[in-house]
Amino acid sequence: MVKWTNEQEDAIYSDGSDILVAAAAGSGKTAVLVERIIQKLLAKENPVDIDSLLVVTFTNAASQEMRNRIGLALENALAADPTSIHLKKQLSLLQKAHISTLHSFCMDVVRQYAYLLDIDPSFRIANDMETDLIKQDVLDDLFEEWYGKQAEEQELFFDVVDRFSSDRSDIEVENLILTLYTFSMQNPWPEQWLDQLADVYHISENWHEEDLSWLSIIKKEVKDQFKAIEEELLLAERIAGESDGPYQYLETVAADKSLLEGALLNHETWDELQEYMVESKFVHYQERKWNVMKISDKSFVH
């Protein structure tokens, strides 16, 4: 007989309220869920029917394993009580019980009520290649429509394309839209989330830095990048200062350290930071690209 922990017993036998179980992989969540179902089926008072329960998992293998475990438990219970009409009924209902993946259950619901949705009940799920082609077709139609806009709408669209793509292709904008779409679909209400996201960028004429929530995120990212550069500079300084190190780079590293310290002092105010970065020039950190030189069998970041 399985020895359950106190927490597992609470998850199995608690009744009359919603229950959320959070546990690490391999901790026995499936076994606990199966036992909870079995206890509801075998209850002396008000036992439930297996086809009145909805049990969903994330993989077909897991759902089949759960169905097999429940079936085995029912068979053992029936062996101990061969006259039980209820147990015999549960075994007969087991094959049509709602024990499946979440996707399979949703597909069954859509097929069952396809006439209300005005879709073909024989639909199927597109594969990855098909969905990519459909997305690209939609993007092509969307861009063609917006390139054909007039006046202010077209100007606004061109502003977006100019900001996020090169002068040769607008593929970067397409990728940005696809990335935003994919990310938004992780939200339960993607359209509302996108609307709220757009509202964040509606700025009043008399705005201040502290009013822009997204600017604080950018400033934090800039600060993190500066800290990363600082660590690389300290490493470069240490290597160059070794007895057999590339000492000729010490002056360059020192100059860049001085500029970086100034940037760290000015990063809180966006206008001051922007002005400082425009006027400053890092000797070996332009465009934030790093090269590695082998000098005296040592890797020197410059």
Tens-place pLDDT, residues 196-206:
888 877 777 78
Q: pLDDT tens, 136-172?
A: 999 999 999 988 888 888 888 888 888 888 777 888 9
Predicted local distance difference test score (pLDDT) of residue 218: 84
Average pLDDT, the chain: 83
Confirm whether 105 is domain-assigned.
Answer: yes
Confirm whether 82 is domain-assigned.
Answer: yes
Average pLDDT over residues 37-63: 87
Question: Domain end: 147, 171, 200, which one?
Answer: 200
Confirm whether 225 is domain-assigned.
Answer: yes
- Same-domain check for residues 231 and 293: yes
* CA–CA dist 61, 50 (Å, integer): 19
- Same-domain check for residues 236 and 135: no
Q: pLDDT tens, 273-291?
A: 878 877 777 665 443 343 4
Confirm whether 205 is domain-assigned.
Answer: no
Q: pLDDT tens, 11-44?
A: 888 888 888 888 888 888 888 888 898 888 888 8
Confirm whether 1 is domain-assigned.
Answer: no
Confirm whether 27 is domain-assigned.
Answer: yes
Confirm whether 278 is domain-assigned.
Answer: yes
- Same-domain check for residues 182 and 215: no
Question: Domain end: 96, 117, 138, which one?
Answer: 117
- Determine the structural domain holding residue 276 and report its residue range: 211-301
- Same-domain check for residues 101 and 145: no
- Same-domain check for residues 11 and 97: yes
- Same-domain check for residues 156 and 112: no
Confirm whether 21 is domain-assigned.
Answer: yes
- Same-domain check for residues 88 and 10: yes
- Same-domain check for residues 82 and 137: no
Full-model pTM: 0.52
Q: pLDDT tens, 181-190?
A: 999 999 999 9
Question: Domain end: 61, 91, 117, which one?
Answer: 117
- Same-domain check for residues 34 and 111: yes
Q: pLDDT tens, 86-137?
A: 889 989 999 888 899 988 899 989 999 999 988 888 888 888 899 999 999 9
Say which CATH number the domain at 49 has: 3.40.50.300
Average pLDDT over residues 78-91: 89
Average pLDDT over residues 291-299: 38
- Same-domain check for residues 95 and 32: yes
- Same-domain check for residues 63 and 163: no
- Same-domain check for residues 27 and 99: yes
Total number of domains constituting the chain: 3
- The length of the chain in residues reads 302
